A = this chain, B = another copy of it.
Amino acid sequence: MFSFSIKAKDVGSSARLGEFSTPHGSFETPCFMPVATQATVKTLSPEQINLTKSSIILSNAYHLSRRPGEKVIQELGGLHKFMNWPGPILTDSGGFQVFSLAKLNKVTDEGVQFRDPVNGDAISFTPESVIKIQEALGPDIIMPLDQPVPYPTTLEMAKRANERTTNWARRSLAAKSRTDQMLFGIVHGSTYKDLRRQSAESLVELGFKGYAIGGLSVGEGTDLLFDSLGPALEILPGDAPRYLMGVGTPEDIVRAVNMGVDMFDCVLPTRNGRNGWAFTSEGVVRIKNLQYQKDLSSLDAKCGCYTCRNFSKGYLRHLFMSGEILGMTLMSIHNIYYYQALMEGIRNKIIS
């Protein structure tokens, strides 16, 4: 039902070209997953997601469990049918969100108790309940509950969180019952290289089929990010997919691919797009700038996306200056396409 195979390896780096098959279709890696936190890639219809050449999208178990609730989505036919996205979906467990959004959270070895930041509900998440939520939602790839630590953190704190995360990973594997979902392990260890290695070793020992690297891109800066990533990648088995969570800029992605990462997600293309920032081959275009008022050219002369084929910078600027939503839509399509074109270029380069 699942397979991940390496089709080609780069000669000058650790980059690899992979093919990942899931019950809802295959995609090539290295890949970028646009973010659909609330079961919608913000402002885009499924057809518009297709215009971006995205094969797999990412949603969030925590958010969906709160609103509308995983049982509601299950009754409505599961996540794929719910949002009318027939392709592969990965859900993050929401561990990151629980620790970053929720106040008053209390962590024990059993799990985490917290208050819903929207309505104050008392909620309890355990490794088992988080698997259950994702089994109700029905995505193809799921993540276990983890305990991210903020940056910076002490060695002692990072170590304790790691032990807990490893223990939760073991319980998640045991709790999993659906065979049509693949569970990843999540490597932690903050910026401590030894901890990163230990975390990876423990997860490999548990025998996951895929591995995520979490707890990075949380303020540690680019150098420390890649310093922490390296030791984990050294340990992870070469035949399993590796997913660097929440990263990042096009530059970060290229660098991580060269180190052997296969999967990425990031809100940058959509969030920046909604704020009027376009990624282009000539650098960032801030579309509200007056200089684009009468500009008949597309966002990026080298881009073949729907937005660039059909609309001028002058029109896009008008939409943003008028507060018209279509501007956000067109900019999101362009930015995700830019990321997907980057990934395609990376994949082509690995082959040649």
Are the C-beta atoms of A293 and B68 separated by less than 8 Å? Answer: yes
Q: Which residue on B lies nearest to A330, using beta carbons?
A: B45
Contacts of A67 in B (CB 8 A): 318, 321-322
Are the C-beta atoms of B42 and A324 separated by less than 8 Å? Answer: yes
The answer to whether residues A72 and B39 also contact, given A45-B330, A83-B315, A330-B45 and a CB cut-off of 8 A, is no
Does A96 lie at the interface of the complex (its beta carbon under 8 Å from any beta carbon of B)? no
Does A351 lie at the interface of the complex (its beta carbon under 8 Å from any beta carbon of B)? no
Contacts of A330 in B (CB 8 A): 45
Chain B nearest Cβ from A36, distance in angstroms: 10
The answer to whether residues A75 and B294 also contact, given A68-B314, A324-B38 and a CB cut-off of 8 A, is yes
Are the C-beta atoms of B317 and A68 separated by less than 8 Å? Answer: yes
Interface residues of A (CB under 8 A from B): 38-40, 42-48, 67-68, 72, 75-77, 82-84, 293-294, 296, 310-312, 314-315, 317-319, 321-322, 324-326, 328-330
Q: Can you spell out 29 A-B residue pairs with CB atoms less than 8 angstroms apart?
A: A38-B319, A38-B322, A39-B315, A40-B326, A42-B324, A42-B326, A43-B325, A45-B326, A45-B329, A45-B330, A46-B310, A47-B47, A67-B321, A68-B318, A68-B321, A72-B294, A72-B314, A76-B294, A76-B296, A76-B312, A76-B314, A76-B315, A77-B296, A82-B312, A82-B315, A84-B311, A325-B325, A325-B329, A329-B329
